[in-house]
Amino acid sequence: MSNYSLFGGTPKKTLDLMNYFKENSSIYVYEGSFSENKNRFEESGGNVYEGVYGWNLFRHLSSLLKIIDEEKIDIVQTQFFFGEVLGYLIKLLRPKIKLIIAFVGPFKPDKFKSFISKLIYRKTNHFVYITRYVKNEKIQQFRILKRKNGSIIYNGSAVRMDSREYSPEMKTVSVLDIAGLVDWKNIQILIKAFNIIVNQYKMTDYYLYVAGDGPYRSELGKMIDEYKLQDSVFLLGYQKNVGSLLNSCDIFVHPSYAEGFGIVVPEAMLAQKPIIVSNAGALPELIENEKTGLIVEPHNPKDWANAIIQLAENPEFALQLAKNAEKNASERFSYNKFCGEYEKLYNILLNNNFQK
């Protein structure tokens, strides 16, 4: 794992797995940023190792092989290109290890990384895809994956417990998104939608809150200034109190146009919030239109504005969507279901040879 950031879905679900498997789990962190969260992983009962060696593959590999031999590790699971490279080298030197690669996003690597990835995937025992969308995207990028063993395991979550601590003051109608500030998260469409709501429709009691940070923050700030929305749209930066934010908002929105999963959507479902998502990426796998939320075209600001207003002005409809969403998330995206699916996979790998 690259770092301890709990703002991203991958470290969060890694922590969930460690809490589930406890002393039978270990993680190796190869960057070490967000170290203020390290204690959360240590408290799981699993083993936490660090190797902040940059791109020095020899030092990483030396540390990892020592850990694997001492802990008698049977399964290595990794994700992202650098982690895949390390997993591949481990597999070459410890061929009895079962190697799992988990695909956590849909994006295609460049030509050099694609070439290396094809070599890695030949030695990989099993692949995990977080959605059907990600599976389809990856198989299109790497035809070898059609011949390899793989499973779709949806991410899971529990109700964010910090929602019981306090509720920050949000003005009505409060609309929330939790996302990294990068282009494909599509926060810009929300700002354009609020330009319509506030400046065209003159609905000045609507407020947008975005929890997250990233390289697109400056660009989004310029948009807010351009539309004179400084009193209506708020970029909150990274927030630890995700549960509190979900507890306090009236409507949750997630307009990403290339989302591999979007763990914040099931978290909003479990918080029993009315939800609007884009008709793009994996999001239609999570939300059923007009049953567990609303699905909107990702690049039409008027559609987003109207969907937000529809939920705000029809509280009974919004409440029914929220109740349906909570029930659906409890069945499909729970912490126990997510961890249980991985437990089944690990047991199969330990008892069968999936290598082709």
Instruction: Note the pLDDT of residue 170.
Output: 65
Reported as a single tens digit per residue, the pLDDT across 96-123 is 999 999 998 999 999 999 999 999 999 9
Q: Which domains does the chain have, with CATH numbers?
A: 9-156+336-351 (3.40.50.2000), 161-332 (3.40.50.2000)
Report the pLDDT value the prediction gives residue 316, as an integer from 0 to 100: 96
* Region 190-196 average pLDDT: 98
Which residues sit opposite 101 in a β-bridge? 78, 127
Summarize pLDDT for 297-334 with one digit per residue, the tens: 999 999 999 999 999 999 999 999 999 999 999 999 99
Q: Which residues of 15-33 are buried (b: 16+ CB within 10 A; e: fewer)?
A: bbbbbbbeeebbbbbbbee
Q: What's the chain's average pLDDT?
A: 93
CA 65 to chain centre: 29
Pick left, alpha or beta for residue 206 (phi over 0 → left; psi -120 to 50 → alpha; otherwise beta). Answer: beta
Q: What is the pLDDT of residue 171?
A: 67
Cα(287)–Cα(277) distance, rounded to whole angstroms? 8
Confidence at residue 217, expressed as pLDDT on a 0 to 100 scale: 97
Residues 319 and 286: beta-carbon distance below 8 Å: no
Is it the case that residue 355 has pLDDT exceeding 70? no
> Residues near 19 by Cβ (< 8 Å), separated by ≥ 6?
44, 45
Alpha helices in the chain, H assignment, sequence order: 9-21, 38-42, 57-71, 80-93, 111-123, 132-141, 187-194, 217-226, 242-248, 264-270, 283-286, 301-313, 315-332, 335-351
Separation of alpha carbons 215 and 196, rounded Å: 25
Percent of the chain with pLDDT over 70: 96
- Predicted local confidence at residue 89, as pLDDT: 97
Question: What residues contact 128, with CB distance under 8 A and at least 6 apart?
Answer: 77, 100, 101, 102, 103, 150, 151, 152, 153, 345
pLDDT-based confidence at residue 159 (cuts at 50, 70, 90):
confident
Q: What is the pLDDT of residues 13-53, one digit of tens each?
A: 999 999 999 999 999 999 878 888 899 999 999 999 999 89
pLDDT at 164: 42
DSSP state of 196: I
Q: pTM score > 0.95 for this model?
A: no
pLDDT digits (tens, 9 = 90+) for 170-191: 668 999 999 999 999 999 999 9
Identify the pLDDT of residue 169: 61
Residues 58-100: tens digit of each pLDDT? 999 999 999 999 999 999 999 999 999 999 999 999 999 999 9
pLDDT of residue 241: 86
User: Does the structure show a pLDDT above 90 at 157?
Assistant: no
What pLDDT was estimated at residue 71?
Answer: 94
Whether 213 shows a pLDDT value over 50: the answer reads yes
Average pLDDT over residues 263-287: 96
- Residue 280 and residue 321: Cα distance in Å, rounded? 20
What is the structure's pLDDT at 356? 40
Q: Are 298 and 189 in contact (CB under 8 A)?
A: yes
What pLDDT is attached to residue 167?
46
